[in-house]
Structure 1
């Protein structure tokens, strides 16, 4: 029976600046889950891309002396280049300036308008151009006669005609769907739980304060104060605001408005990966628009935390922005990929520390895993004529092997909950067990006293290493591939299902080579 197809998305990244560690982190998590699901027999569609419209982009292009399209072409390419640098396996890269996306936005707008979900009114309030957001008076501070948003951006009083989406109509239905049990196809699952509670409370409080159907809860979805965007059909003085434009990308890439398109079978998305700063847009505005258009909502939205740098908040003004490209150049791609998902529980804030990175790489990858692989394969070379021993008596090391066999199921469960750090911890716990097993059995000494047992021990260790390398492919594709090469695993036997079939004894194994390099920390 075929396994269900999987649709995974990153947010589309805003092109007013170059990529940083936060962009790499979100896409990395999406990439690892996509790779694991493919490894586990699922057909996967993995989408990323760039958000290229809006007042900030229009202004940034003007400041750079460029046409907005030329500006977005240039900056969007930096994000596309990051996918290659980080080894991401995305199936599509969407840009909101593409014709297919403009067509999808127009089609969605027309459906909403035909259903009476959009109406024309006036919007007024304190607006920050930099944030492209309105703020309530209670959120503002004032210095030297200038009012500022919580972000520090200056605000000005703006009144302009605007189209509104009837968000208030859909809020009770959203609350109902937040509370449905796991497994219900209508459930809108928000993770981690703290974000679900935050969103639920926000919606419930709005309904309590203003009541169902209050226009105060409706959403402004067009602007006339700038022109760089998708034109509103039938009223081209207006451009669609970010809520409609950017969020629609997820169905654009799935073929919308052609619901008979080959890719439409992937919708609804299984997980939208987002930063915690945009969780409300994805869990309130987006599902409400989908419901209003008669479309299925995404199954889960997972909001990850933010990184600090050596204990400091990351900001351009402090000059401590972490460049993922520089990190990869300094430490190597796979070690960086491993560290980012190993160090911090996904969903929580974390601190980036070079010392922690080096300690993880040296302790877990080089010393624990790399050394285990090198010792085992070197012993096979010396004592088994470089050939894989036959599968032997399972009684020898049965408990250890049972733990190894359980690993794929453990990773499946943990990655289905986006517990990336726990998935890696499960692998590393087994690696520690394997190092204990090789020390206890001492196969280097068994050559003289019990060569049959020695062969069985080495075969068990090879089996364990094959399992680790297979399961680590989503996290460290290149290194895990090299490890599988050294273990003599053919290309067609590197998925999870293949772990159930033992390799034939007697196959020749190549000479082992170090998989990881140890890194020295600079002297303090």
Structure 2
């Protein structure tokens, strides 16, 4: 992705048929890290997330719980989905609900335009439907059932029987966009990422596209088709439009796109919904004469015990199960660092605890507390003055600049895990530098006073660099460190620091008064710890 002065990003909008698990939170954190990075770098940034509240799955869940689907959606949004954003410290600029009036208005205008321009027609349809996926399944995702479902056709994703539906529906002429989509993938090879996802999408489209059923008549929980109220809009067609209705599409009924801003955007999605976002969605936009997304990036699944998380299999883990013990920063760091973004990742409590202790508590937190304690002990809690630079000092200074540049390049490629790896080279280097330079030994010799100041200044400004670079990932801990370094009084708010200039050396003035630092990552007692 080319560097620009603006950055717009969206997560998928999530079904409100149940409470969120860490797979949902993982997507939110990834998008949030990207948004925070670009926002702090000075880019005009917009970050959208929200909830998908229509369709048969929501209707059945609400009915099973004895409430109207809107009441069910309101309950889940307020009790579970919006609180999730606070639990993991998400900085979204907007939250769209498909039951919002602004969304309904935009969907109706979009549908009417496609209908008026000849992209929609009436027809009959019979196919196997998965309520869990809210999708008429392609042959590649229909398998024979086993066990209690033997003799039935089941969804390969949900392993539940498919329903044979026969309806008179309205259809979107998606097949007409096959060649334009293939041209898009060829002309913009980075449009769908990673490469494995791009190859999958191209192969799917090359097999031939069928027209898409965009309405349902067997239930009424959805947005009515504007020219035929006996039909409601197919939930995916409705939901995909959130990305533009939240950005102003439809605000002007005479010219629906007049108020559209922060578009096109990067779409961060799970790989299981890639086809909707990389095939159906751009075809819809092409038909309406609108720009396609900037990028569609499909991340992998979070696996627990080797399987994708599932509420029905009792492998879904609520985010607060982690944050209540380890905190939001640790949650954000772990899923940004431990999972190669774009591939499947395995979660384990053991790995989380080990990384928390080794990398956050010992690696970063202990580095900060040791440095500030030495500045108190040897320089009355002020930033010492640096003297003559040696090769060892220069190596840290050069690494700080290099880590900043590399991390920014990785973020531009959505490689969040690689950005953290580059930044952590500076954490490890500073720990090694302290061990080698032995400031506690230098402090015993008055003749080494200048050298002591240089060593401690090098670590101090190195921590200033780390606070800036790590702020998009661990915002709470870095804000505490920034205050303790005295940087607020001299440089201003941490979130306002020009992130791409973080590696510019010597920004923290000598003599700056520093402040006490609470433990950034407290020790976590585990069952194996002695009492």
1:190 is matched with 192
2:126 is matched with 124
1:488 is matched with 486
Alpha-carbon shift at residue 498 of structure 1 (Å): 6.3
Does 1:425 pair with 2:421? yes
Tell me: CA distance 1:493–1:410, structure 2 relative to 1, closer, same or farther (3 Å): farther
Q: Distance in 2 between matches of 1:247 and 1:83?
A: 21
Q: Distance in 1 between matches of 2:274 and 2:138?
A: 19
CA RMSD of aligned residues (A): 2.0
Query: Structure 2: any 5+ residue segments left out of the alignment?
Result: none
Does 1:141 pair with 2:155? no
Residues 103, 242 of structure 2: 8 Å contact kept: yes
Question: Deviation digits for residues 228-247 of structure 1, max 9, x if unmatched?
Answer: 00000110011110232000
1:394 is matched with 389
1:170 is matched with 177
Question: Deviation digits for residues 428-478 of structure 1, max 9, x if unmatched?
Answer: 111111111111111111121411011011111111100111111111111
2:90 is matched with 88
Alpha-carbon shift at residue 262 of structure 1 (Å): 9.0
Question: Deviation digits for residues 19-68 of structure 1, max 9, x if unmatched?
Answer: 11111000110111111111101121110000000011111111111011
Query: Structure 1: any 5+ residue segments left out of the alignment?
Result: 183-187, 208-216
Does 1:289 pair with 2:259? no
2:519 is matched with 514
Residues 23, 309 of structure 2: 8 Å contact kept: no
Residues 341, 420 of structure 1: 8 Å contact kept: yes
Matches of residues 403-482 of structure 1 in structure 2 within 5 Å? 403-447=399-443, 448=445, 449-482=447-480
Alpha-carbon shift at residue 318 of structure 1 (Å): 3.3
SS of equivalent residue, structure 2 residue 187: coil
Residues 243, 286 of structure 1: 8 Å contact kept: no
2:263 is matched with 267
Using the TM superposition, name which of 127-136 and 414-423 deviates more. 127-136
Which of 227, 230, 234 matches 1:234?
A: 227
Residues 128, 155 of structure 1: 8 Å contact kept: yes
Q: Distance in 1 between matches of 2:219 and 2:450?
A: 78
Matches of residues 327-366 of structure 1 in structure 2 within 5 Å? 327-366=322-361
Alpha-carbon shift at residue 223 of structure 1 (Å): 0.7
Alpha-carbon shift at residue 310 of structure 1 (Å): 3.8
2:21 is matched with 20
2:212 is matched with 219
Q: Distance in 2 between matches of 1:132 and 1:243?
A: 7
Using the TM superposition, name which of 19-28 and 136-145 deviates more. 136-145
Tell me: CA distance 1:81–1:512, structure 2 relative to 1, closer, same or farther (3 Å): closer
Tell me: CA distance 1:488–1:310, structure 2 relative to 1, closer, same or farther (3 Å): farther
Tell me: CA distance 1:128–1:371, structure 2 relative to 1, closer, same or farther (3 Å): closer
Q: Distance in 1 between matches of 2:110 and 2:180?
A: 20
Does 1:160 pair with 2:164? no
Q: Distance in 2 between matches of 1:292 and 1:459?
A: 59
2:41 is matched with 40
Q: Distance in 2 between matches of 1:386 and 1:262?
A: 56
Alpha-carbon shift at residue 135 of structure 1 (Å): 3.1
Question: Deviation digits for residues 287-314 of structure 1, max 9, x if unmatched?
Answer: 0000010000001011111112243442
1:255 is matched with 248
Residues 301, 308 of structure 2: 8 Å contact kept: no
Question: Deviation digits for residues 170-208 of structure 1, max 9, x if unmatched?
Answer: 1111111111156xxxxx61111100000011111226x
2:315 is matched with 320
> TM-score, normalised on structure 2?
0.91
Residues 404, 423 of structure 2: 8 Å contact kept: no
Alpha-carbon shift at residue 514 of structure 1 (Å): 2.1
Alpha-carbon shift at residue 263 of structure 1 (Å): 6.5
Residues 16, 73 of structure 2: 8 Å contact kept: yes
Alpha-carbon shift at residue 350 of structure 1 (Å): 1.1
Tell me: CA distance 1:461–1:46, structure 2 relative to 1, closer, same or farther (3 Å): same
Aligned length: 508
Q: Distance in 1 between matches of 2:138 and 2:34?
A: 39
Alpha-carbon shift at residue 149 of structure 1 (Å): 2.9
Alpha-carbon shift at residue 153 of structure 1 (Å): 2.1
Q: Distance in 2 between matches of 1:159 and 1:277?
A: 25
Residues 361, 518 of structure 1: 8 Å contact kept: no
> TM-score, normalised on structure 1?
0.93
